[in-house]
Structure 1
Amino acid sequence: MPVVWRERMRIGHELIDADHRYLLSLFNSVELSLRVPDTLRYLPVFFGQFLDYAREHFAREEQVQFKMGFPGYLEHKLEHQRIAAKLAELQDRISTELDAMPEDEEAVAALQEQLRPEILELARTWVIDHILQTDGKMRPWFTPDPAAIRPD
């Protein structure tokens, strides 16, 4: 099921919020390729785009945090490094698995079932939890009244 942008994900910095919305759309492409057998071959491309943009976003977000003197900067940067490493490891595995996969429908379905839980769990955990919880700690720095952000 696709991840939909919610107002409670907004942290109040225009560029970071735009990055988060775009990352959600990239993640939804990954998720789609895991549900539709004919699109599994595109998974490395979609996941690669997701990983590349996540790295760009992390660098941008860290630069914003550093410039504003955000007290959780170092911890946040380390979390970004852990997430990027996990995503890169998973990207390598996806490519290896797909390269070794026979070209029959049964093999495609089996590989989708094998990869789906791991990819969805990691990406959703990062996409949702990281944005809502970790990035949410920046909200008071950008929003004059954090209570003005209401859950959907």
Structure 2
Amino acid sequence: MSYVDWPGELALGIPAMDEDHRHLVETLNELRETLLVAPSRRDAAGLLLQFVRIAREHFGREEALMAERGYPAAIEHGHEHGELMAVLSFMLDAVRTGQANLDSDTLDHVRRWLCGHIENSDASLASFLVRHG
């Protein structure tokens, strides 16, 4: 069983967004599996870095799309992205320097944030995009 099921409730019907979300979910599932099987700091840091890169690229594309289409909640949505990126950067630095290990509680926080963000904020954006072409 996957840590996060794809697509489950997470598919929004916007192919570019769904593809990015699928990559994020796959990487999060791989990170969770790595922690369960062989929780090495090096493996966890590498996968966390991959997740951070995918998230950063996705957020950039999403924010450009919101600006291009005049999405009214773009500022708030972008702030949500910034909040997660700050948490991820802190986590990555802590894992890389050995100040902290990536554990299931921390990963659960990221999972809840990601799923909640997709189901709420991104779903609202997708609805706007469908309504406004």
TM-score w.r.t. structure 1 length? 0.77
For residues 92 and 122 of structure 1, the distance between their equivalents in structure 2, rounded to whole angstroms, comes to 17
Partner of 2:109: 122
For residues 94 and 23 of structure 2, the distance between their equivalents in structure 1, rounded to whole angstroms, comes to 24
The answer to whether the 8 Å contact 2:3/2:32 transfers is yes
Please report the RMSD computed on the Cα atoms of aligned residues, expressed in angstroms.
Answer: 2.0
For residues 82 and 116 of structure 1, the distance between their equivalents in structure 2, rounded to whole angstroms, comes to 20
Looking at both structures, which has the greater relative contact order when contacts are Cα pairs under 8 Å and sequence separation is at least 6? 1
Give percent identity, aligned residues only: 29
Higher helix share: 1
The answer to whether the 8 Å contact 2:63/2:74 transfers is yes
Q: Give the length in aligned residue pairs.
A: 130
Could you tell me how far 1:24 is from its partner in structure 2? Answer: 0.4
Q: Which has the larger radius of gyration?
A: 1
Alignment-mate amino acid for residue 57 of structure 2:
E
Partner of 1:148: none
Q: Is residue 8 of structure 1 aligned with residue 12 of structure 2?
A: no
Could you tell me how far 1:59 is from its partner in structure 2? Answer: 0.3
Could you tell me how far 1:127 is from its partner in structure 2? Answer: 1.8
Q: Counterparts in 2 of 1:95-134, with a 5 A limit? A: 95-97=96-98, 115-118=103-106, 120-134=107-121
Gaps of 5+ in 2: none
Q: Which runs of 4+ in 1 moved over 3 A?
A: 38-41
TM-score w.r.t. structure 2 length? 0.87
